[in-house]
């Protein structure tokens, strides 16, 4: 009830505001980057744009809520009400396709052709940015979802080598738990955080082929591979903090640095948050990947809503995003890596340079939780079911519920 009231009130405010923010020399932008590292990154990108376009007034409207859980609900209502902003953050892939399929976004092929972006953006990324042969998005970054951040001091003091398998991860949890240390830092305030963790476990336990098949409706939650992943997830949750519902992703991540837990699963936006808080990558914290050889892909993009105000100013912003200056201003701060493959990597830390190398050689697996691999309506229900599992621990019932939601949303027949 409180969340619904918040969204309704916020929607009313932005609709009223958007009516006065439609001048040709204004750009009204929406995004959900409000946490540490995120805010500084988008501010840096907008500063580059402002220097290139001093005649434009930027109307910046960040909406709190990690992974866009609040903003996406507001944005859909805003656009369907005929009050689109100049541009807004959206996950590449299925999430963006919802707008495209409903005729709510305009193609931007001319920008891609003008700047030759197809030559510098990897093809796998391009496939998430174009629909029916047309480009609709400009990518601002590439994030990796299947990362575990850990406190180096804790791991070193207990002679722990970062795991490379699920089995090794659970062994580490047992060792830390026996030593009186909470292994897993978990936040589940917005629900997606728990879904993100399970997505990672599903990918690591069942493998990338099953993962892709499942989210394409070719496999079921009641299949043995999925059941095993849920079972592992249940075991891992048992090693986490019991008050997870009180924490957001960034608050949970902070717990590994305060010594309240040993590791935290999330995307590399955590690195942006931790470095922004004064911690040093490779010294205070580090990362391990599960599963090794798979790259959980999260891509944030911006496009051109149909009938958007400030169209010329918006097109210039989309150009700025993929300039070397824009990419290099944003990504080192955000913790992500650039969407272009032709940029100098010397300004990035060791973790990001490894992510760049992995992007070029690993199996790329678009994230479902972060909008790329499955329809948003299905994923909303999917996230709710996974979140309930935190409290029920009922593997069989959860699997049956997930299969029912897949049928309900037409993912499977």
Edge-to-edge strands of the sheet including 285-289?
263-266, 147-151, 285-289
pLDDT (tens digit, 9 = 90+) per residue, 107-162? 999 999 999 999 999 999 999 999 999 999 999 999 999 999 999 999 999 999 99
In a domain, 413, yes or no: no
The CA-based angle 381-399-291, given to 5 degrees, is: 90
In a domain, 356, yes or no: yes
Q: Concatenate the DSSP letters of all residues of 324-350 into one string.
A: HHHHHHHHHHHT-B-S-SSS--TTS-H
CA atoms within a 13 Å half-sphere pointing along the CA-CB vector of 279 = 26
45 plus 134 within the same structural domain: yes
**Tokens coding 121:** 């953006």
Q: Give me the sign of the Cα torsion angle 143, 148, 154, 160.
A: negative
pLDDT (tens digit, 9 = 90+) per residue, 34-61? 999 999 999 999 999 999 999 999 999 9
* DSSP 8-state symbol, 184: B
Residue 252 predicted with pLDDT over 70: yes
Return the CA Rg of the chain. 21
Residue 11 predicted with pLDDT over 80: no
Q: Name the strand (E) or helix (H) holding 79.
A: helix 71-80
pLDDT (tens digit, 9 = 90+) per residue, 329-370? 999 999 999 999 999 999 999 999 999 999 999 999 999 999
At 73 the pLDDT is: 87
76 plus 213 within the same structural domain: no
Residues spanned by the domain of 391: 144-296+369-408
360 plus 330 within the same structural domain: yes
157 plus 73 within the same structural domain: no
130 plus 162 within the same structural domain: no
Taken as a whole, the chain contains a residue count of 413
At 18 the pLDDT is: 44
pLDDT (tens digit, 9 = 90+) per residue, 55-102? 999 999 999 988 898 998 889 888 888 999 999 999 999 999 999 999
CB-CB neighbours of 272 under 10 Å = 28
Count how many domains the chain has. Answer: 2
207 plus 350 within the same structural domain: no
71 plus 187 within the same structural domain: no
291 plus 268 within the same structural domain: yes
The CATH number of residue 212's host domain is 3.40.190.10
At 5 the pLDDT is: 38
Contact between residue 4 and residue 12 where contact means Cβ atoms under 8 Å apart: no
Give CA–CA dist 140/338, Å, rounded. Answer: 7
Q: What is the pTM of this model?
A: 0.93
216 plus 310 within the same structural domain: no
Q: Give the largest Cα separation in the chain, rounded.
A: 63
Contact between residue 61 and residue 85 where contact means Cβ atoms under 8 Å apart: yes
254 plus 153 within the same structural domain: yes
pLDDT (tens digit, 9 = 90+) per residue, 205-230? 999 999 999 999 999 999 999 999 99
Confidence of residue 23 (pLDDT cuts 50, 70, 90): low
26 plus 173 within the same structural domain: no
In a domain, 18, yes or no: yes
Confidence of residue 178 (pLDDT cuts 50, 70, 90): very high
Q: Identify which has the larger pLDDT, 164 or 80.
A: 164
In a domain, 70, yes or no: yes
* DSSP 8-state symbol, 118: G
What average pLDDT score do residues 170-189 get?
98
Give CA–CA dist 296/213, Å, rounded. Answer: 15
At 7 the pLDDT is: 43
In a domain, 119, yes or no: yes
325 plus 404 within the same structural domain: no
At 22 the pLDDT is: 45
């Amino acid at each position: 009830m409180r969340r619904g009231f918040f969204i309704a009130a916020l929607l009313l405010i932005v609709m009223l505001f958007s009516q006065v923010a439609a001048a040709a020399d204004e750009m009204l932008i929406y995004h959900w980057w409000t946490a540490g590292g995120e805010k500084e990154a988008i501010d840096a990108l907008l500063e580059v744009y402002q220097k290139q376009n001093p005649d434009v007034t930027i109307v910046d409207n960040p909406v709190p809520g990690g992974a866009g859980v609040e903003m996406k609900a507001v944005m859909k209502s805003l656009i369907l009400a005929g009050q689109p902003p100049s541009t807004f953050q959206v996950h590449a892939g299925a999430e963006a396709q919802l707008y495209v399929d409903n005729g709510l976004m305009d193609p931007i092929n001319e920008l891609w052709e003008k700047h030759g972006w197809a030559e510098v953006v990897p093809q796998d990324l391009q496939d998430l940015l174009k629909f029916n042969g047309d480009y609709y998005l400009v990518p601002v970054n590439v994030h990796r979802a299947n990362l575990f951040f850990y406190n180096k001091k804790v791991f070193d003091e207990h002679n722990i080598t970062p795991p490379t398998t699920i089995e090794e991860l659970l062994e580490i949890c047992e060792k830390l738990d026996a030593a009186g240390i909470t292994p897993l830092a978990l936040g589940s305030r917005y629900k997606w955080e728990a879904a993100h963790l399970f997505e990672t476990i599903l990918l690591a336990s069942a493998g990338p082929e099953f993962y892709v098949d499942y989210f394409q409706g070719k496999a079921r939650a009641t299949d043995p591979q999925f059941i095993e992943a849920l079972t592992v997830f249940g075991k891992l949750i048992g090693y986490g903090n019991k008050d997870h519902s009180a924490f957001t992703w960034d608050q949970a991540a902070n717990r590994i640095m305060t010594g309240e837990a040993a590791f935290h699963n999330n995307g590399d936006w955590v690195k942006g948050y931790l470095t922004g808080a004064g911690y040093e990558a490779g010294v205070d914290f580090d990362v391990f990947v599960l599963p090794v050889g798979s790259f959980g892909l999260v891509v944030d993009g911006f496009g051109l809503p149909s009938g958007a105000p400030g169209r010329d100013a918006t097109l210039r912003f989309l150009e700025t995003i993929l300039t070397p200056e824009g990419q290099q201003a944003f990504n080192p701060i955000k913790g992500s890596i650039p969407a272009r493959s032709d940029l100098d990597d010397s300004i990035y830390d060791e973790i990001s340079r490894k992510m760049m190398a992995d992007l070029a050689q690993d199996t790329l697996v678009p994230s479902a939780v972060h909008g790329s691999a499955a329809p948003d309506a299905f994923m909303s229900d999917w996230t709710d079911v996974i979140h309930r599992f935190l409290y029920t621990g009922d593997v069989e019932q959860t699997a049956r519920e997930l299969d029912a939601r897949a049928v309900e949303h037409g993912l499977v027949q």
